[in-house]
Amino acid sequence: MNVGLKWLRDYVDFDLNAGELARRLTESLTETEVVESPSAAVAGVVAARVVTVEPHPDAEKLTVCVVDWGDGSGPVVCGAPNVRPNMITALAPPGATIAGGRAIGEQTIRGRRSHGMLVSGAELGLAGDAAGILDLEPSTTPGTDVREVLGLDEEVIDLDVQPNRPDCLGIIGVAREVAVAVGSQLRLPPIELREEGGDVAGMAAIELENVTDCPRYIARVVTGLTVGPSPAWLRSRLASVGVRSISNIVDVTNFVMLEYGHPIHAFDYDTLADARIVVRRARAGETLVTLDGVERKLDPSHLLICDGRGPIALAGVMGGGETEVGEGTTNVLLECAWFDPVVVRRGATSLGLRTDASHRFERGVDPDAMPGVAARACALMAELGGGTVARGSLDEGPGRAPERTVTLRLGKLRSMLAPGPPRDGVVAKLEALGFDVAFEGDDGDTLAVRVPSFRSDVTLEADLIEEVARTHGYDAVPPEVPFHPLTASTDTEHAGRNDVRETMIRLGFYEILTSSFMARKAAVDFAGFGLEGEPIELANPVNKETPLLRTSIVPAVLDVVRRNVNVGERDVRVFEIGKAFGRTGDGHSERWMLAGALTGAAERPSWGGAARDVDFFDGKGVLEVLAEALDVDSPESACYDGPILEGRSSARLLIGGRSVGRFGMLASDVAEEWDLPEAVFVFELDLAELGIGNGASRGFAGLSRYPKVRRDLALVVDDGTPAGDVTTEIEGAGEALLAGVEVFDVYRGKQLPAEKKSLGLTLTYMSMERTLTDDEVDAAQKRIVRRLVDRFGASLRE
Amino acid sequence: MERLRELRDEAVAAFESAVSAAALESARVRHLGRKSEINQVSRGLKDLAEDERRAVGRAVNELKNELGALLAAAGDRIARAGASSGPGLDLTLPGRRPWVGRKHPVTRTFERLEGIFRTLGFEVALGPHVEDEFHNFEALNMPADHPARDMHDTFYIEGGKLLRTHTSPVQIRVMQSRPPPIRIIAPGRAYRNETPDASHASEFYQLEGLYVDRDVRIGELKGVLTKFLHELYGEDVGIRFRPGFFPFTEPSVEVDVECRICEGKGCSVCKGTGWVELLGAGMVDPRVFQAVGYDPDEVTGYAFGLGVDRIHMMMSGVDDIRLYHENDLRFLRQV
């Protein structure tokens, strides 16, 4: 909401400049800024009278004028279509500056000397008005600075008016707040309405189909008007807040709306069929051409103003073209109405037509101010258009502001604002804001506060506390740092996810955060990953390419890999901890997932020779170390031959038989389709299934004071025998002294028969009680080897 | 004689700057070798007059002795350097570096904020991203068709569900689940149906706070948020509490901090005001307590919320919020 300071001073006195006022209102009402005016650079432009207009001898579209600028006169070449003798316009003489900082000099145009130029409103930074040169009031004295004439010196502030304060969408409402902020008095405009015409009751009739949609409708009629330009004071008021001047009558409706915050509308009375106003819902299929020339298709959600024939305006949103006030208009029917906020909001939203009027009606207008608003507008129209106001008004509908008294307990106020202002200060602020305050009970500590009709937002004691708090100033509330007992409880899953993140960082992965939205193709391609079940569909996606909630994070992770490879990164190790979503029966589920990818070199590039590219075991190792660091059961891998992953080198991750996720090398056809490097390892785990953050600990098993003994074993087995089966067999052999087994070598080659491989194993033995002897270790090792020979047909390699 | 002094200085400089045995050897050949100028001077002695021959001869011998000693010292120096590092070892080569990872800047900011609020006694609470009208809007005093919803362009999904437009529904869920006192923060992702640009993202990050107890004062809200901002920006940062509007708090305040870019003088980041809006806050609206079944006459409380990505932008000078979603490693390494 833009407010010109000069205009504001019509209603309240204050001794502050724009910056100071903006700061004060920011502290007491809402964020307020000083508006930088596009006219700020204008200097030296003066009012001037056009004396004669002659065609330019060498240019068809130009004229050569003799212009009188008060203390001199001279020729000016002009191209405006509206230039005419005797008009008062604006001259930018040599040395002047116009909007945008453009300096004007003496010039010669097509061979004729021009003493500067005649300027349009746009050239002075005013809204609109680029078509012709300025047409100033005939009474303006040539030579007067146009800054003064047009009010360009007006300082303007912009208030961020919140949805609960429609009263501040009018300058009077802002002036009331200024008065409270600076300790001054609000001055309401005088309304000098002379009703000298006939009785309005004989001139028009109003019919409300439904008083819920339109609780109150006031109409007045003004006759014998002459539509013409507005006087300078009105144009400069409107210009100061960026509203274009149209005509005296239309300008009055805008002026009064900006003054009171209540939108009003003027119809050309003579175009109204049967002189009737009907407020009703649109019928399916009805149309209306609005003032902006667009034909609007209507349905029963739209509220209309109709005449005896059909729709003439979209109630509370925009008027229609047919009944618009124009040059030939002499009689006007003025509408001042109260429309239901929700109906206006839905209608305006469905048509994509948010206007100054709908903005205000949506937030609620003051029904009790309506008679005054209508009278003010008619008085101004009669004054500026030379018309006669008909006697009385048509006033339909029962809508009035509800009487509302809210109790304010000063004890409550003080407990919240501690210490809070004294009682007299509370009462004074509330009264200055327009509330009536009475005392309830005997203790003088309970106030009965009557809420004025323009403050429909105040319904609870808390609302009154806010009024006191903000006008009193939040600076006055002393900050307290209370002592709170520390909370013991912590979200263990949240903490568990933090552990996962820390571990991945330590493993050299960058954390990424990607979109929760997913493309349809990705959902199909990556159906094997993430959550089971159908993806959830957005009703109104912001990007039509990604209309689904992601069932898996993997597609987004691969997008990140590609993006980085495309800008020249070779080694990409990234992960995300985020939510995936899926449909489950009638409902939906969302689960925390860990997804990631690695590609490029297996080790960080160094001078010791190029490292090999990552393979399946680099990725698998990451997941194993993750499990180790998180102290969850070491996962088992199972073969996974679903889509996307290369069947030979991909697996399902199982813990205790439950599937926790998938991992493996991306299938080459997928890598190609996604424009990814050849070797990319991807993984996705369900963090809840992983069992992180369950607080379980293995417990302390004690430390042995005796040394470990190692024995290596080279075991020849069939090539198809999984190493995991061999180590499981060894661990399950029931040898009490065996502390661990590691695979240190896998060999196939010419020293071995075909279809055979050699596994190099290190077995570790340890006792908690004593130093082991070679004999007992050899015996245990022998028993294990025998077991392996029996189970796998293994032999020891010589 | 003058020339001898010059030859001496050249030779000394060459010996001292030699870094390898090979370099020293070539310096020796150049300055003391058979074809060196000094040697030519020696050989030319016989052509000189006797007086002169004696004087120059002595000078040349002294010079040769001196340079010989310097040569030996330089040889020792080079040999010592070689011995202490072994043959062929170049200490200036970079070390073998393990991979190193990094958290996303949004995560780091969350951790920082959570850490501060934990020390102030707040616990972490989380809620679903897929929400319903009741928790996201109605219980927060934002009925359908309320103009305040203009600021909450919402993503809807089937069954009337929606993606939460803020982290505030977590307040509602926590209050529904247990009685006061409650002191939580709710970090997480929120969604708004806005076309992304440099300062708007359709997915963004918030941190919500809620404290509910008996007789909670606005001064406590000020105190806790002041403490928080002091932890974040230092004790000397300017802080301003001013009126605001949120449907679920009454009174509502906005909290500004002094612009870190211009230190309050006014710049483009703070639009010349010297202040940057950082938090929205207020006393919980009694209608919110009613919606969750609390008695508004019995309990009071405060709530606050802030944009986590925005806080990081302000601290780091990142000027495009979309960078946080692109996950360009060059960005993640920098910020």
Mean pLDDT of all residues in B50-60:
82
Number of helices followed by number of strands (H, E) in chain B: 12, 9
Is residue A372 within 8 Å of A172, Cβ to Cβ?
no
- pLDDT of B298 > 90? The answer is yes
User: Which residues is A89 bridged to in the sheet?
Assistant: A48
Structural domain ending residue among the three candidates B54, B85, B116: B85
Which of B130, B192, B297 has the most A C-beta neighbours within 10 Å, making it the best mutation to test the interface with A?
B130
Confidence check: pLDDT of A646 > 90: no
Among B18, B51, B85, the domain-final residue is: B85
pLDDT at A746: 92
- Residue A245, domain CATH: 3.50.40.10
Residue that finishes a domain, picked among A448, A476, A504: A476
- Whether residues A516 and B129 touch (CB distance < 8 A) is answered with yes
Work out the minimum CA distance from B316 to partner chain A, whole angstroms: 18
In the structure, what pLDDT confidence band is assigned to residue A235 with cuts at 50, 70 and 90?
confident
On whether both A160 and A210 belong to a single domain, the answer is no
Kindly tell me if the per-residue pLDDT of A30 is higher than 90: yes
B90 part of a folded domain: no
- For A44-94, write each residue's pLDDT tens digit: 999 999 999 999 888 888 999 999 998 889 999 998 888 999 999 999 999
Give the type of residue at A684.
E
- Rounded to whole angstroms, how far apart are CA atoms A743 and A728? 12
B330, with CB counted inside 10 A (0-12, 13-18, 19+), is exposed
The single-letter code of the amino acid at B103 is K
Q: In sequence order, what are the beta bridge partners of B255?
A: B241, B279
**Does the structure show a pLDDT above 80 at A152?**
no
Say yes or no to pLDDT of A639 above 70. Answer: no
Residue B269 belongs to domain spanning: 105-334
The C-alpha angle with vertex B18 and arms to B16 and B24, in degrees rounded to 5, equals 105
Residues A143 and A177 in one domain: no
- pLDDT score of A466: 96
User: Could you tell me which chain B residue has the CA closest to the CA of A470?
Assistant: B243
Q: Decide if B230 is inside a domain.
A: yes
Distance from CA of B77 to the nearest CA of A (A): 28
Stretch B288-297: mean pLDDT, rounded? Answer: 96
Q: What is the β-pairing status of strands A332-338 and A303-306?
A: unpaired
Quote the CA–CA distance of B51 and A469 in Å, as a whole number.
109
Residue A637 lies in a domain: yes
Q: Is residue A698 part of a domain?
A: no
CA distance A303 to B233: 53
Question: What would the mean pLDDT of A620-647 be, rounded to a whole number?
Answer: 74
Average pLDDT taken over every residue of chain B: 89
Question: How does residue A797 score in pLDDT terms, banded at 50, 70 and 90?
Answer: confident
Q: Which residues of chain B have a CB within 8 Å of the CB of A157?
A: none
Do B67 and B119 reside in the same domain of the chain? no
Which amino acid, one-letter code, is at A269?
Y
Q: What is the per-residue pLDDT for A364?
A: 93
Judgement on whether residues A664 and A726 belong to the same structural domain of the protein: no
Mean pLDDT of chain A: 90
| Nearest residue of chain B to residue A26 (CA atoms) | B242
Give the list of residues 6+ apart from residue B52 with CB closer than 8 angstroms, or none: none
pLDDT band at A127 (very low <50, low <70, confident <90, very high): low
Give residue A307's pLDDT.
96
In this structure, what are the phi and psi dihedrals at residue A745, rounded to the nearest 5 degrees?
Answer: -160, 145
B98 inside domain: no
Give percent helix, percent strand, percent coil of chain A, each to the nearest 5: 30, 30, 45
Question: Cβ B101–A486 below 8 Å, yes or no?
Answer: no
Domain count, chain B: 2
Question: Based on the domain organization, do B39 and B176 belong to the same domain?
Answer: no
Q: Are residues B177 and B297 in the same domain?
A: yes
Q: What range defines the domain where residue A165 resides?
A: 2-34+156-182
Looking at residue A649, its pLDDT comes to: 67
Assess if residue A741 is contained within a domain.
yes
A467 shares its domain with A558: no
Residues B223 and B307 in one domain: yes
Chain A residue numbers with beta carbons less than 8 Å from the beta carbon of B327 are 510, 512-514, 560, 563-564, 574
A515 contact residues in B (CB cutoff 8 A): 203, 325
Please state, in angstroms and as integers, the Cα–Cα distance from residue B217 to each residue in A469, A482, B172, following that order: 12, 10, 21
Residues B128 and B222 placed together within one structural domain of the fold:
yes
User: Does A226 share its domain with A177?
Assistant: no
Band of the pLDDT at B267, cuts 50, 70, 90? confident
Domain assignment of residue A703, yes or no: no
Peptide bond before residue B251 is cis, with ω within 30 degrees of 0:
yes
Beta partners for residue A796, in sequence order:
A715
Best mutation target, B329, B331, B332, to test chain A (most A CBs within 10 A): B329
Q: Do A474 and B253 touch (CB under 8 A)?
A: yes
Say if residue B73 is in the same domain as residue B123.
no
Confidence label for A487 from pLDDT (cuts 50, 70 and 90): low
The CATH number of the domain holding residue A165 is 3.30.56.10
Tell whether B93 is covered by a domain: no
Q: Are residues A785 and A655 part of one domain?
A: no
pLDDT in tens, A87-124: 999 999 999 999 888 899 888 888 888 999 999 888 88
Is there a single domain that holds both residue A557 and residue A454? no
For residue A785, what pLDDT is reported?
A: 93
Instruction: Note whether B219 contacts A489, CB cutoff 8 Å.
Output: no
A-chain residues near B125 (CB < 8 A):
491
Q: Is residue B34 predicted with pLDDT exceeding 70?
A: yes
Q: Is residue A485 part of a domain?
A: no
B121/A607 CB distance under 8 A? no
| CATH classification of the domain holding A77 | 2.40.50.140
Q: How much is the average pLDDT of A175-203?
A: 94
Residue B323 lies in a domain: yes
> B122 near B225, Cβ under 8 Å?
no
Count of structural domains within chain A: 6
Residue pairs between chains A and B whose CB atoms are closer than 8 Å: 230
Question: What is the chain B residue with the closest CA to A501?
Answer: B103
B267 and B136 both lie in a single domain: yes
Phi, psi torsion values for A207, nearest 5 degrees:
-135, 125
The torsion defined by the Cα of A23, A28, A29 and A33, in degrees rounded to 10, comes to: 0
- Residues B140, B209, single domain; the answer is yes
Which one, of A23, A13, A165, A172, lies nearest residue A473 by Cα? A23
Q: Is residue A39 part of a domain?
A: no
Task: Inspect the interface and report whether the beta carbons of A481 and B223 lie closer than 8 Å.
Answer: yes
Same domain, A102 and A239: no
Which of A396, A431, A466 is the last residue in one of the domains? Answer: A396
Q: Which of A287, A345, A340, A336 has its CA nearest to residue A311? A: A287
Q: Are A577 and A687 in contact (CB under 8 A)?
A: yes
Q: pLDDT digits over A349-372, tens only?
A: 999 999 999 999 999 999 999 999
Which residues in chain B are closer than 8 Å to A581, comparing Cβ atoms? 129-130
What pLDDT is recorded for position A642?
Answer: 60
Residues A376, A242 within the same domain: yes
Closest-CA residue to A661 (of A643, A636, A678): A636
Phi, psi torsion values for A698, nearest 5 degrees: -70, -20
Band of residue B148 on the pLDDT scale cut at 50, 70, 90:
confident
Would the pLDDT of B195 be above 60?
Answer: yes
Are residues A681 and A599 both part of a single domain?
yes
In a domain, A654, yes or no: yes
Q: Which of A148-157, A178-187, A618-627, B116-125 is predicted least confidently?
A: A148-157
Residues B43, B182 share a domain: no
B173 is a domain residue = yes
Contacts within 8 Å (CB) and 24+ apart, B144-151: B145/A341, B145/A342, B145/A345, B145/A346, B146/A163, B146/B247, B147/A163, B147/A341, B147/A345, B147/A362, B147/A363, B148/A163, B148/A164, B148/B245, B148/B246, B148/B247, B150/A163
Q: What is the pLDDT of residue A112?
A: 87
Answer yes or no: is pLDDT of A637 > 70.
no
Residues A460 and A577 in one domain: no
B122 and B36, same structural domain? Answer: no
pLDDT tens track for A568-592: 999 999 999 999 999 988 789 999 9
Strands (E), A269-345: 276-281, 287-289, 295-297, 303-306, 311-314, 318-319, 332-338
* Same domain assignment for residues B192 and B293: yes
Which one of A615-619, B32-36, B330-334 scores highest in mean pLDDT?
B330-334
Residue numbers in B near A574 (CB within 8 A): 327, 329
- Are residues B33 and B73 both part of a single domain? yes
Check whether residue A628 and residue A752 sit in a common domain. Answer: no
B214-224, pLDDT tens digit by residue?
999 999 999 99
* Cross-chain residue pair B326–A563, CB shorter than 8 Å: yes
Residue B179 confidence class, pLDDT cut points 50, 70, 90: very high
Average pLDDT over residues A731-757: 90
pLDDT tens-place string over residues B68-113: 888 888 888 777 776 555 566 788 888 888 999 999 999 999 999 9
- pLDDT per residue as tens digits for the range B310-321: 899 888 888 899
Chosen domain end from A396, A419, A438: A396
Question: What percentage of chain A carries pLDDT values higher than 70?
Answer: 95
Chain B residues within an 8 Å CB radius of A604? 96-99
Least confident of A220-229, A250-259, A622-631, B266-275: B266-275
Residues of B in contact with A460 (CB under 8 A): 250, 285-287
